[in-house]
Chains A and B, each alone.
Chain A
Amino acid sequence: MGNLRMENIYLPDLALIDRIVDETSDTKTFTLHLADAAKNRRFRFKSGQFVEATVFGVGEAPFGFASNPHSPRQFDITVRAVGAVTHAMHVLKPGDYLGIRGPLGNNFPLDEVTGQDILFIAGGIGLPPLKSLIDPMLDRRAEFGQFIILYGARTPADRVYKPLLQEWRNRGDIQFLQTVDTPDAEWKDHVGVVTTLFEKVKLDIKRTVAFTCGPPIMIRFVIQDLLTMGFAEDRIISTLERYMKCGVGKCGHCAIGHKYICVDGPVFSYRQIKRLPER
Chain B
Amino acid sequence: MQASAKVTVAKHDFLEGLGRCMKETTVIAPVKMKDGEVTFEPVRTAKQITFDYVNDHDPLKRFFMPAREELFSFQNARGKALLKSPPLPKPRVLFGIRSCDLQGLAHLDHFFQGAFEDQLYLQRRKSTLIISLACNEPLDTCFCICCNGGPFLESGFDLQLTDLGESFLVDIGSRAGRKFLDDWKVPCQTAKRKDEQLRQALMHKCDEKMIPTAYLAKACIQITNNRVREEVWDEMGAECFSCGGCTHVCPCCSCFDVFDCTEGETGQGTRYRCWDSCQYSGFTREASGHNPRAKAKERVKRRFYHKLSYAYIQQDGHPGCVGCGRCITVCEAFQQLDVPAVVKRLRRDG
| Residues on A facing B (Cβ under 8 Å) | 1-12, 14, 35, 54, 56-61, 82-83, 86, 95-97, 99, 216, 241-243, 245-246, 248-253, 255-258, 263, 277-278
Q: Please indicate which of the listed interface residues B90, B298, B306 has the most CB atoms of chain A within 10 Å of its own CB.
A: B306
Q: Are A258 and B284 also in contact (CB < 8 A) when A2-B87, A56-B260, A263-B116 are?
A: no
| CA A119 to CA B308, docked complex, whole Å | 39
Question: Looking at the complex, which one of B74, B86, B116, B271 makes contact with A4 (CB distance below 8 Å)?
Answer: B86
| B276: interface (CB < 8 Å) | yes
Decide if B76 touches A250 in the complex (CB within 8 Å).
no
Contact between A1 and B305 (Cβ–Cβ < 8 Å)?
Answer: no
Which residues of chain A are within 8 angstroms of B122 by Cβ–Cβ distance?
Answer: 6
Q: A8-B71, A56-B76 are in contact. Are A253 and B284 (CB under 8 A)?
A: yes
In the complex, what residues of A have CB within 8 A of residue B262's CB? 57
Cα distance A35–B77 when bound, in Å? 14
Residues of B within 8 A of A263 (CB): 115-116
Query: What is the interface of chain A mostly: helix, strand, loop, or mixed?
Result: loop
- B120 CB within 8 Å of chain A: yes
- B230 an interface residue at 8 Å Cβ cutoff? no
Q: Which of B29-37, B52-60, B249-257 contacts A (4 or more CB under 8 A)?
A: B249-257
Q: Is B6 an interface residue (CB 8 A)?
A: no
B-side residues, CB < 8 A to A, are 71-72, 74, 76, 79-81, 83-88, 90, 111-112, 114-120, 122-123, 226, 254-260, 262, 267, 269, 271, 273, 276, 278, 283-288, 290, 292-293, 298, 301-302, 305-306, 309, 311-312, 315
Is the pair A250, B257 in contact by a Cβ cutoff of 8 Å?
Answer: no
Residue of B nearest to A82 (CB): B287
> Once the chains bind, are A248 and B278 in contact (CB under 8 Å)?
no
* Contact A249 B255, beta carbon cutoff 8 Å: no
Nearest A residue (CB) for B72: A11
A61 CA to B87 CA in the complex, in Å? 25
Using Cβ atoms and an 8 Å threshold, which residues of chain A touch B312?
258
Contact A2 B88 (CB under 8 A): yes
The closest CB in chain A to the CB of B287 belongs to A83
* Minimum Cβ distance to chain B for residue A5 (Å): 7
Q: Are A242 and B258 in contact (CB under 8 A)?
A: no
Are B254 and A5 closer than 8 Å at their CB atoms?
A: no
By a CB distance below 8 angstroms, the chain B residues around A243 are 283-287
A10 touches B271 (CB 8 A): yes
The reply to whether A278 and B120 contact each other, CB–CB distance below 8 Å, is no
Query: How distant is B224 from chain A, measured CB to nearest CB, in Å?
Result: 9
> What separation, in Å, do the CA atoms of A256 and B284 have in the docked complex?
10
A118 CA / B309 CA spacing, docked (Å): 37
Residue in B71, B115, B123 whose beta carbon sits within 8 Å of that of A249 in the complex: B115
Question: CB distance A7 to B119 under 8 Å?
Answer: yes
In contact, B260 and A58 (Cβ under 8 angstroms): yes
CB <8 Å contact, B117 and A9: yes
A-side contacts of B257, CB under 8 Å: 245, 251, 253
In the complex, residue of chain B having the shortest beta-carbon distance to the beta carbon of A57: B262
The distance in angstroms between the C-alpha atoms of A263 and B315, with both chains bound, is 14
C-alpha spacing A109/B283, complex, angstroms:
31
Instruction: Point out the residues of chain A lying under 8 angstroms from B267, CB to CB.
Output: 57
Tell me, in angstroms, the Cα distance from A55 to B68 when the chains sit together. 21
CB distance from B126 to the nearest CB of A (A): 10
Cβ–Cβ < 8 Å partners of A246 in chain B = 256, 258
Chain B hits for A252, CB < 8 A: 254-256, 276, 278
The answer to whether A60 touches B85 (Cβ under 8 A) is: no
Instruction: Evaluate contact between B116 and A9: CB separation under 8 angstroms.
Output: yes
B232 to chain A minimum Cβ distance, whole angstroms, is: 15
